[in-house]
Chain A
Amino acid sequence: MLKKYFSTILIGIFLLGCEKEIQLPLDPNQSLLVIDGGITDEIGPYYIKLSKSTGISEASNFFAVTNAIVIVKDNLGTIDTLKHENGGQYKTNKIKGIYGNTYFLEVQVADKKYTANSTMPQKVALDSLRINPFPVNNEIRYSVIPVYTDPIQLGNSYRFIQKINDTLDQTFHVFNDNLNNGKENQRPLRGGSDSLEVKLKDIVSVEMQCITRPTYLYYYTLYQQSGAGPGGGTTPSNPPSNIIGGALGIFSAHTVQRKQILIK
């Protein structure tokens, strides 16, 4: 976060940035299975999406994996074999998303098996969204603060998905309670320098997810890697995932709440 400020100030002041598209020799890619799945506290069905990763220079069509056996179980003994709908989307039939339950995912593609599990955290109420004006250099910039009170118990993690007039903010907003355990949140959803600006009369919608530690780590790692280059960013790697067996992606049980606000 600090580094983003540094590079913004530096590049802003020296007006040094000069961007152009280039070609680079890249290593061949090993295509891997990608699992993108979540069980939420909303009413089902839930979907697990399976696809394959592709090379950088290829088009981002991401071939769907349609011949897999996908099973979700919970700690109450429910076993749900998912049905392939289309485009690699597998749909649950009967499993229910409830706080405190643990969900077990099993994916079998040809002779390879992948497993993951995730326990849905308690829901922390999203009370409201607050506009956070930020006057700088004769103009006012805006950001939105999700207002919630972190529970007394340490170890809560949150993810926020922000849309500005229906355009997805690509920044990975994940918070935890390392510093402000038990307190009301005052931290805004401030995007990186390349993310969308929130302006007057915009409608900002925020989805708040209460997530597990592994899901937090997954998204936080992506967030850290996003500031590539000397302005910041850690050396990138595939983020630590809760999926065992060598697939990319994440299997997350989380709660969902949504609110929106007009910037005025």
Chain B
Amino acid sequence: MKFIKKGALYFMCTIVCVLQIQFSFGQDKFVLNGNIKDQATGEAMIRAVIRIEELPSLGVLSNEYGFYAIALPKGKYTLVVTQLGYEKYKEQVRLDSNLNLTILLRSANTLKEVVVESGRKNDNLLKPQMGTETLNLNAISKVPVIFGEKDILKTLQLLPGVKSAGEGNSGFYVRGGGADQNLILLDEAPVYNASHLLGFFSTFNSDAIKDATLIKGNSPAQYGGRLSSVLDVKMKEGNNQDFNVNGGLGLISSRLSIEGPLQKEKSSFILSGRRTYADVFLRASDEFKDNILYFYDLNMKANYKINEKNKLYISGYFGRDELGLGDSFGIDWGNKTGTIRWNRIVSSRLFLNTSLIYSDYNYNVKLKNGLSNFNINSNIKDINLKQDYTFYLDPKNTLRFGFNSILHNITPSTFSGTVINSNPKKGRNGLENALYISNYYKATGNLSLDYGMRISAYSLMGGDAYNVYEKDLLVNTIRLDKQSFGKTYINPEPRMTANYRVTDQTSIKAGYARNIQHLHLLSNSTASSPSDQWIGNSYNIKPEIADQLSVGFVQGWKNNSYELSTELYYKNLQNQLDFKDGAEIFTLADVESALLFGIGRAYGLELLWKKKEGMLTGWISYTLSKTERKITGINQNNWYNARQDRTHDIAVVGVYTLNSRWSVSSVFVYNTGDAVTFPTGKYSIQGQTLYQYASRNGNRMPSNHRMDISVTYDKKRKKRIQESWNFSLYNVYGRENAYQINFQDDPKDLSRTQIIQTSLFRWVPSVTYQFKF
């Protein structure tokens, strides 16, 4: 372990030294750098494109904190900055010494915004990232969602390659991966359970969110830890110019946020809260007065500009769900995250961000039965230190490097209560380390590459015993002291993407990435639940590995106001987990004794056609895909469909802006049903009908489709107050989509088998009132 830490230190020092040398050689050039911000709110502009009109082959992007730097020979230049939803910025600069220039962008007429903008006009053609989608938070408010609560996770599910975990559910699957294979970050802190109310809401209060980017497997080297995707959600920093109050009243939940400067232009804050109140109505009814069901969450963020070179951010999230039935049953769960970040401009071209992150997910179950009671608790806690350097080496190369160390403390379900014996299960610790370096290389005006390497390591630590199994037999038990280290897994993760611009409107892309996952979600049910538990690597559980190869093609028309992007991917998965039949994953003394291991594969074609301008904007997405697993001990060791294998997946999204007051939007979705296992036959044991099964997941749920509409009315602004109403109808034509299918004896004729389909949500109307002043 010490070796790794020392190694990390050497690695960093070497890179910093090399950069210093480079820097001193490059003195004949001058550096233009600074921050890019929204003029009205002071929010940092992420991934804005900075170009020099005289040197069309050059171009850099601003980083997550709005910082940019570009080194140029002495001269006069025209600087052009573009960002979607903002007016183009143009300025003449004379560079005869290093220059610090803060760029303020003015918000464009919002009518022309599109919801998803992996391409901000031509710029998509410039960026090497593949399978990347960024959601524009202002515009998603127009897309209809169930219960009228705008939600980034549900809007993401309308994109190719992203599948919903179920109707109305905020859980998602990316390119055939499991729901636990998405790295969900909120201001860099991992969120272990991103859903409220069993998935009907996500933990993201869109009032507090600035930007959300989903990377489908080809993530740059600074990200790691999950196989399928990275969803990087960034909270707003808070307006540093003006105070704002924002709120929304809905049928099920309401939210309120306050933002404003603490010291104008120096520091600002945002505080945003949300709560559902279905429980208030429930308490009024006799029939459900003991039902408890609500959630709340709170987002907080503040930043402080120490001086021109140093800035500090503190952000936090706290959310909790409560569900219960009187005092006889209750479950509550929630996430807590906290992030402290320190941005430092080390030199004119070197930007450093240091983050200290805390993340906690836990759940508690209480069962009370007369005098006896029974509790289950589980939690996962992380302390995470990160350093991330961005070095603007020259106009062609931007280097990104750093390290990340996470100390995990994972306590699986532990039991207590009057009827329970002392529970031998204890928490386990694990140390996850990563080092990475990548380079964004603009080889020519048309060819750009992003290549890099991440090395991740996971060290088992003490706290509890580790059992070692070989062919189902316990062969060894390893006990480690609390602070000592056991086995360390080290895995290299090479990453590469390339983009070649064929013409102004056409580009081709290709990428390869290996991703490693050291934490695994244990769930043997067909749906996720707050009580699913995480487990780290062990002597039996090896890091999960995914290799993804993808190629893409982007074609624009009419000055890129229409765009078609196509991607093909193939993904190979190793060390996948599943359970033996009948595994009691809660109560087993060692859950690892019930694990099965295997491999997986997923491949598909994704099409996304977008209309980015005009009265009518929107997109059509289509995914053709396959995802399979092969686990020793399941389906006679043959390949079988993963449950989320849905052959066709279509989404059509349209937003029609009638005028500056009214807009109408609609969503239509269609997808093949989940791969499930239906019985082929039946038999009788002691008078009860049991069902006979053949191959796993060889059947299909009926296909799903549905249309939603929503109408938004923006009231004329009165002085400072801006109000809007949103009316939406979910499932317009009342389609009964199958939620579950059961086989049972027909009560009228016991010799006959009935197939019963249960469906949810027909015609869910909602109204939301929003205000801002």
Contact = CB atoms under 8 A, between A and B. Distances in A.
B419 to A, nearest CB: 5
14 contacts: A5-B329, A12-B288, A13-B291, A27-B698, A132-B369, A136-B326, A136-B328, A137-B287, A184-B419, A221-B582, A229-B740, A230-B740, A232-B529, A235-B677
A135 B680 contact: no
Interface stretch (B305-313, B453-461, B486-494, B520-528): B520-528
A48 interface: no
Given A62-B683, A62-B684, A187 B328 contact: no
B526 A179 contact: no
B10 interface: no
Interface of B: 166, 198, 278, 282, 286-291, 293, 323-326, 328-329, 331, 365, 369-370, 372, 415, 418-421, 423, 524-527, 529, 531, 579-582, 584, 587-589, 634, 643, 676-694, 696-699, 702, 736, 738-743, 745, 750-762
A181 interface: yes
Contact of B755 (A24, A52, A55): A24
**Which applies to chain A's interface (DSSP): helix, strand, loop or mixed?**
loop
Interface in A212-251: 217-218, 220-222, 224, 228-240, 248-250
Contacts of B679: 26, 56, 236
Give the size category of A's interface with B: 35 or more
B290 A137 contact: yes
A237 B742 contact: no
Interface of A: 2-3, 5-6, 9-10, 12-14, 16-24, 26-32, 34, 36, 51-57, 59-62, 132-138, 168, 170, 176, 178-188, 217-218, 220-222, 224, 228-240, 248-250
B293 A13 contact: yes
A237 B676 CA distance: 11
Contact of A9 (B325, B693, B699): B325
Nearest to B684: A62
In order of increasing CB-CB distance, the 10 nearest A-B pairs are A229-B740, A29-B681, A221-B582, A230-B527, A53-B683, A29-B680, A178-B587, A186-B372, A16-B760, A34-B683
Contacts, number: 242
Point out which of B738, B751, B758 has the most chain A C-beta atoms below 10 A from its C-beta: B758
Contacts of B683: 32, 34, 51-54, 62, 248-249
Contacts of A179: 415, 419-421, 423, 587
Point out which of A182, A187, A220, A235 has the most chain B C-beta atoms below 10 A from its C-beta: A235
Nearest to B199: A230
Nearest to A182: B421
A2 B684 contact: no
B642 to A, nearest CB: 10
A60 B752 contact: yes
Contacts of B753: 56-57, 60
B645 to A, nearest CB: 13
Contacts of B693: 236-238
A180 B293 CA distance: 30
A134 to B, nearest CB: 6
B476 to A, nearest CB: 21
A60 to B, nearest CB: 4
Given A32-B681, A179-B419, 15 more contacts: A24-B699, A30-B694, A51-B683, A53-B682, A56-B743, A60-B682, A62-B684, A136-B328, A186-B369, A188-B369, A220-B582, A224-B524, A229-B742, A235-B677, A238-B693
A21 B176 CA distance: 31
